[in-house]
Amino acid sequence: MSQRIPATELSANFRGRAGEALADGQLSSNFRTAMDSLMQKRANAFPDADEREGLRELGNRIKARSLSKLPDLLEQLEQKLTENGVKVHWAETVEEANTLVHNIIEARKGRQVVKGKSMVSEEMEMNDYLAERGIECLESDMGEYIVQLDGEKPSHIIMPAIHKNARQVSKLFHDKLGEPETEDVNQLIQVGRRTLRQKFMEADVGVSGVNFAIAETGTLLLVENEGNGRMSTTVPPVHIAVTGIEKVVANLRDVVPLVSLLTRSALGQPITTYVNLISGPRQPDELDGPEEVHLVLLDNGRSGAFADAQMRQTLNCIRCGACMNHCPVYTRVGGHTYGEVYPGPIGKIITPHMAGLHNVPDHPSASSLCGACGDVCPVKIPIPELLQRLRQENVKNPEEPQLVKGGGAKFSRKERWIWRSWQMLNTRPGLYRLFLWAATRMRALAPSNVGPWTENHSAPVPARRSLHDLAAAHLDSSGETSS
Amino acid sequence: MSELFYDAAPNATRVAPERETDRHYPDKPEAVTLFGTCVVDLFFPEAGLDAIRLLEREGIRVNFPQAQSCCGQPAWTSGYRNEARAVARAQLEVLDRPGLPVVVPSGSCAGMFRHHYRALFADEPDTLKRVEALAERTFELTEFLLKVCRVQLSDQGEPSQIALHTSCSARREMNTHLHARELLGQLDKVERVDHDHESECCGFGGTFSVRMPEVSGAMVNDKTRSLIDSGAVEMVTADGGCLMNINGSLEKQREAFRGRHLASFLWERINGSAAGEVA
């Protein structure tokens, strides 16, 4: 599972990767153990179901309200941040965002970048972009540091290295850094800490993500547990924050319930160890902080989702990862199977807007629609409903105008014909009863191989008599009509 | 009462989420319509017949319209909205009898009537009125027996240990998973045993099971393993889809353990071993 292949080459083959992941017993076991623990932590963090449901409802409304005035809030955010001395940049595509970041670094002749955890920078593949231009970009989040060291991508949006256990991390540190092997997690963390401490001091630029951008005050809020976020945003002379346009909220009051939902849903924490509120560069009377602060606001398909009232709910996401922790599919196949930056249920509904459905044609189908994700989503994104909607977009005729980029990726005349036949069977009662009659009378002829179904099941054999038949006989004999 | 509720300190990895139902239940009606569901129709017809018997035992006249077929869910969850809509419209016609409750021996098909038909007909205001009326009078079987009929079951069977599998639709769309527990709780010789990751999907998901057989197979393997390991002698469920998935997998694995529909289980328990002859 340590592939480092461009996402576009992987994306047409979810099933293949799922099969490989399922065959890897260590991987499955790492995920099951970790996800069980995370589900338990979340449950413990919300002991009162009424309080939890009230808070989720509030979170949903705050996000819906913020999105309803998204253009205005973004304008206000830019104005306030500018007043605070933060330079605001807009990027429609990841290429634009990378160019912006690169230009900022080049203007300072920067060669070393230290990065706090940021999923948007993963969207941008910023590390690779900068590396190709001679700039070293080091991940400072422990999990991100581990996956970067191994040339991998994150397998979870909150816990990037969750697919590895302590033994595997120890081996990695031994192989790559020459460290003695140990399964003591604290010792392993010390290894990372030693390396990173030095890098924070040397770095020319610090990059971070943003959890919430507050329009009223021009504040960037960043939660984290390792202190690396604070180091990345305060020690280097330049701080570049990158985030998606959907992260903006109206005011600090809106943030309180959202942060509570985020930390409790993600790791079961009442609050993270660090909550950074960044309002601008170092002021003349201040002792520390960066000389320059930049914010890059990235669209990357988000405005496409925004344009559709139903799909817009995708942008409610506050990136807690609870949907993946509770997903029976993610739990079994892990994050790399999705082949994209955002794995799990949220990845399945957001990636099509970024990469196009044609690049992730199997994503909408990779769900039993069990509903666990929608049940735990802190901002009540109806993920199963949106998956179903994407399935509709997926089977449209590609020659028709598409609402979602790359729609019609699963269009098949053969499958449409099958469903048309199914429709005919189920809308003509006489035909349906004839089918029942034939299937039950000729049950001995039922095929023993029914495609993929018989990979996991014995072949289904129809009963001797259908319920239509039995009910008619029963209700006649008991004197009732069966109209 | 503790038997009826999921553990006070919830073990998220093992039990279903707690839910309160705020649905208003009518008085017991004289007659109902049974919507058998296509899976029960073809593969578990006895379960449908046992549902009819359970309802008749409560003095209710059961109609079984011969024009019914499928609720439309397979096409709906596959993205074929128009095809699903045509089939749904046919059922709407068949079930369009104001005042007559519709009882469904499946949480997912009942959930289709109660929730997804709204999405199917969102752009047809007139149809939507009929959809709302149908949603209002649709009940999952265990919910109907417990909340509308207020059944009192008297256990005539031998002591037994069983595992209860609740479908995702029963838990998340219908809030009816506790009803099955409560019904089983009325059977004094039946001990319901927990199984690991009880609230996790069995992996069926309609066409998911054939579109993603690797993942679906891993899910049903885990489900059957935890059911067998629970120490129960059999599994009961109120959903035909899950039953077909779980039993089909058990048979493929050559395991002796089996599941059966809750309606058949209940009918047998209240009639003792002679249940089969009562028909």
Q: Which residue of A has its CA nearest to B44?
A: A463
C-alpha closest to that of A54 among A317, A380, A315: A380
Write down which residue in A410, A428, A443 finishes a domain. Answer: A410
User: Could you read off the pLDDT tens digit of each residue along chain B, which spans 279 residues?
Assistant: 233 334 333 444 444 455 556 789 999 999 999 999 999 999 999 999 999 999 999 999 999 999 999 999 999 999 999 999 999 999 999 999 988 999 999 999 999 999 999 999 999 999 999 999 999 999 999 999 999 999 999 999 999 999 999 999 888 888 888 899 999 999 999 999 989 898 899 999 999 999 999 999 999 999 999 999 999 999 999 999 999 999 999 999 999 999 999 999 999 999 986 544 443
A292 with A397, same domain? no
Query: Per residue in A308-347, pLDDT tens?
Result: 999 999 999 999 999 999 999 999 999 999 999 999 999 9
The torsion of the CA quartet A296, A301, A304, A308, rounded to 10 degrees, works out to: -100
pLDDT at B190: 97
Write down which residue in A379, A410, A441 finishes a domain. Answer: A410
CB contact under 8 A, B172 and A392: no
Interface test with A, best of B68, B83, B175, B222 (most A CBs within 10 A): B83
CA distances from B11 to A36, A43, B21, B197 (A): 9, 8, 21, 9
* Exposure class string for B133-155: b at 16+ Cβ within 10 A, else e: ebbebbbbbbbbbbbbbebebeb
Q: Checking phi first, is residue A134 left (phi over 0); if not, alpha (psi -120 to 50) or beta? A: left
Where are the domain boundaries for CATH 3.40.50.11810 in chain B?
Answer: 153-278
Which alpha helices (DSSP H) does A24-69 contain, by range?
25-45, 49-68
pTM: 0.94
Residues of chain A found within 8 Å of residue B67, distances taken between Cβ atoms: 429
Per the CB < 8 A criterion, the answer to whether A263 and A209 are in contact is no
Q: Does A302 touch chain B (CB under 8 A)?
A: no
Q: Nearest CB to B64: which of A22, A458, A475? A: A475
Q: Is residue A283 part of a domain?
A: yes
CA distances from A471 to A406, A474, B31 (A): 48, 5, 15
- The C-alpha atoms of residue A132 and residue A135 are separated, in whole angstroms, by 7
Pair of tokens at residue B47? 């379960």
A220 with A298, same domain? yes
- The C-alpha atoms of residue A441 and residue A143 are separated, in whole angstroms, by 60
Query: To 10 degrees, what angle do helices A142-149 and A166-177 make?
Result: 60
A362 with A283, same domain? no
pLDDT at B22: 76
CA neighbours closer than 13 Å in the CB half-sphere of residue A340: 27
N-term to C-term CA, chain A = 59
pLDDT at B13: 44
Q: Which residue has the tokens 């949220």?
A: A346
Q: Could you tell me the fold of the domain covering B153-278?
A: Rossmann fold (3.40.50)
Q: How far is CA A96 from the centre of its chain?
A: 22
| Mean pLDDT rounded to a whole number for chain A | 93
A250 with A381, same domain? no
Pair of tokens at residue A120? 């948007």
pLDDT at A298: 98
CB contact under 8 A, A468 and B36: yes
A405 with A431, same domain? no
Q: Is residue A183 part of a domain?
A: no
- The C-alpha atoms of residue B78 and residue A47 are separated, in whole angstroms, by 37
C-alpha closest to that of A243 among A337, A319, A143: A319
Q: Residue B15, class by beta-carbon neighbours within 10 Å (0-12 exposed, 13-18 middle, 19+ buried)?
A: middle
A248 with A129, same domain? yes
Q: H/E element holding A311?
A: none
Question: How many domains are there within chain A?
Answer: 3
Question: A-B interface: how many C-beta pairs under 8 angstroms?
Answer: 217
Q: Is residue A179 part of a domain?
A: no
Which alpha helices (DSSP H) does chain B contain, by range?
38-43, 45-57, 73-78, 81-94, 107-111, 117-120, 125-136, 141-143, 168-172, 177-185, 208-211, 213-229, 240-252, 262-271, 275-278
A394 with A360, same domain? yes
CB contact under 8 A, B69 and A416: no
Geometric angle at alpha carbon B13, from B7 and B18, rounded to 5°:
40
A235 with A281, same domain? yes
The answer to whether residue A64 scores a pLDDT higher than 70 is yes
A57 with A125, same domain? yes
A273 with A419, same domain? no
Per the CB < 8 A criterion, the answer to whether A115 and A208 are in contact is yes
Write down which residue in A410, A445, A468 finishes a domain. Answer: A410
Q: Does A374 touch chain B (CB under 8 A)?
A: yes
A8 with A128, same domain? no
Q: Is residue A178 part of a domain?
A: no
Q: Does A433 touch chain B (CB under 8 A)?
A: yes
Q: Is residue A403 part of a domain?
A: yes
Q: Is residue A196 part of a domain?
A: no
Q: What are phi and psi of A124, to 5 degrees?
A: -75, -15
- The C-alpha atoms of residue A212 and residue A256 are separated, in whole angstroms, by 11
- The C-alpha atoms of residue B247 and residue B260 are separated, in whole angstroms, by 8
Q: Is residue A193 part of a domain?
A: no
Query: Per residue in B59-118, pLDDT tens?
Result: 999 999 999 999 999 999 999 999 999 999 999 999 999 889 999 999 999 999 999 999
C-alpha closest to that of B161 among B223, B243, B236, B225: B236
DSSP B153: -
Q: What percent of chain A is modeled with pLDDT above 70? A: 96
What is the domain extent for residue A366?
Answer: 1-45+326-410
Query: To 10 degrees, what angle do helices A142-149 and A185-202 make?
Result: 90
pLDDT at A12: 52
pLDDT at A116: 95
Q: Does B57 touch chain A (CB under 8 A)?
A: no
Q: Which residue of A has its CA nearest to B97?
A: A483
Q: Is residue A310 part of a domain?
A: no
Q: Nearest CB to A370: which of B43, B201, B245? A: B201
CB contact under 8 A, B208 and A368: yes
- The C-alpha atoms of residue A370 and residue A351 are separated, in whole angstroms, by 20
A29 with A55, same domain? no
CB contact under 8 A, A467 and B168: no
Residues of chain B found within 8 Å of residue A372, distances taken between Cβ atoms: 168, 172, 200-201
